[in-house]
Structure 1
Amino acid sequence: MEMRERILGTALRMFKTYGVKGVTMFDIARDCGISKKTVYEHFVDKQALIDEGMQQLLNNHMAYFNECIVTTDNAIEEMVRNMKYVTHIAKTQNPVMLYEIQKYHPDTWKSVESFKAEGILCNIRKNLERGMTEGLYRQHLHTDIVARMRQLQLEAAFDPIQYPADKFEMHTVMEQVTAHFILGIATLKGHKLANQYLQIKEDE
């Protein structure tokens, strides 16, 4: 089992760095310091590695979001921490990986789409409900509409057409759209907290 996890970890790291198309089973074996035969003893083919690697990645993301719910003091802190986490992921993961999975591995991409719908969207909706309960977000928000609006914001931040890398830094884009979103739904009490977490000056 230890060898299997080692192979999977190596493959996932290489996929995140170089994308999935250009990484071969030989590349993975060489990076692990083992034979290609050993890799095939644990994974029937590259597709199996891609499937399991992507599922592990999505599970790790969901675990972080769930942990964030119970380790933050309030909904605004939770959203800001999630924003910083997503920004970190964007810096450490080559966007080519997701592009190639969507283009060349449609069955694997279904799990990503499912994660967006059942993971991210559900998490945003829960955050909105939490914020309303805490008196930090305006009451009577239509959570289905507002959650989808936030999800579209996040997806747009990753869109190189909307925010080309040579003109915009990811962390600046994420901070700006997150501040805009939170301040748009926050109560006066929520605004004060948002100013602290996002380090927004009072006169702004």
Structure 2
Amino acid sequence: MKEKILIKATDLFLNLGFKSVTMDDLAQAMGISKKTIYSHFENKTKLVEACTMHVFDSVSCGIDEICLLKKNPIEELYEIKRLVMEHLNEEKTSPQYQLQKYYPRIFNTLRNKQFEMMHGCVINNVKKGIDQGIYRGNLNIEFVARIYFSGVTSIKDSRLFPVAKFPVADLMDNYLEYHLRGIVTPKGRKILNNIINSNQN
């Protein structure tokens, strides 16, 4: 039952927002009593924390699996983007903003874990791209990794990029292309253009 509560709560939080969904809403959506929820999660904060870490762990495992496939680095980033979009259900609200505002401790813990995971992932990606001649050899790898993380987290800020103007899927596509065009060689640009053209067909 704990796993079922976790999955349903995660779905509701991502679609409606961490603040918006009450324990009553969750109980009603599952057809169970609040008492049942509280027998597994002490309070809503504990549930929010469990849900955010559940999503993080799922995405992290998925990214590890993608990296093991040994795709070229450009394809790898597009696969990771697709995985993230699947897990976040294209975020119909701004769960990150609500998490930051109402659960700052959980938000900061999550942000630190995201940085550690993404930092290592992007550094490996850039090194592979340079070795394969599809990323420029004169890149400051540490800078690229950090500016990529900074951008990915900034585009999730609905105050900067309102969802009504910037649908999440388009925003992620635009940002990834923006990132890659800044670091690819002519050889890499051909691969990138082929991926973009195939995605549009």
Pick the TM interval, shorter chain. 0.7 to 0.9
Bigger mean CA offset, 121-130 vs 53-62: 121-130
Question: How many equivalent pairs are there?
Answer: 198
Aligned partner of 1:54 in structure 2 is 52
Q: CA deviation at 1:188?
A: 2.4
Aligned partner of 1:175 in structure 2 is 173
1:86–1:112: structure 2 CA closer, same or farther, 3 Å change rule? same
Letter in 1 for 2:13: F
Distance 2:19 2:159 in 1: 23
Q: CA deviation at 1:69?
A: 0.9
DSSP-derived class of the 2:7 partner: helix
Query: Does the Cα contact within 8 Å between 2:90 and 2:169 map onto a contact in 1?
Result: no
Aligned partner of 2:62 in structure 1 is 64
Q: CA deviation at 1:89?
A: 5.2
What runs of 5+ residues in structure 2 fail to find an aligned partner? none
1:72-129 Cα distance to aligned partner (Å, 9 max, x none): 5210101122233444556532443222221121221122211232022222122111
1:137-180 Cα distance to aligned partner (Å, 9 max, x none): 11142111011222233234333344333433433333333223
What is the TM-score with the length of structure 1 in the denominator? 0.85
Q: CA RMSD in A?
A: 2.2
1:84 aligns with 2:87: no
Aligned partner of 1:155 in structure 2 is 153
Letter in 2 for 1:123: C
DSSP-derived class of the 1:151 partner: helix
Aligned partner of 2:107 in structure 1 is 109
Distance 1:23 1:176 in 2: 31
What is the identity percentage for the equivalent residue pairs of Structure 1 and Structure 2?
29
1:18–1:122: structure 2 CA closer, same or farther, 3 Å change rule? same
1:30 to 25, 28, 31: 28
What is the TM-score with the length of structure 2 in the denominator? 0.86
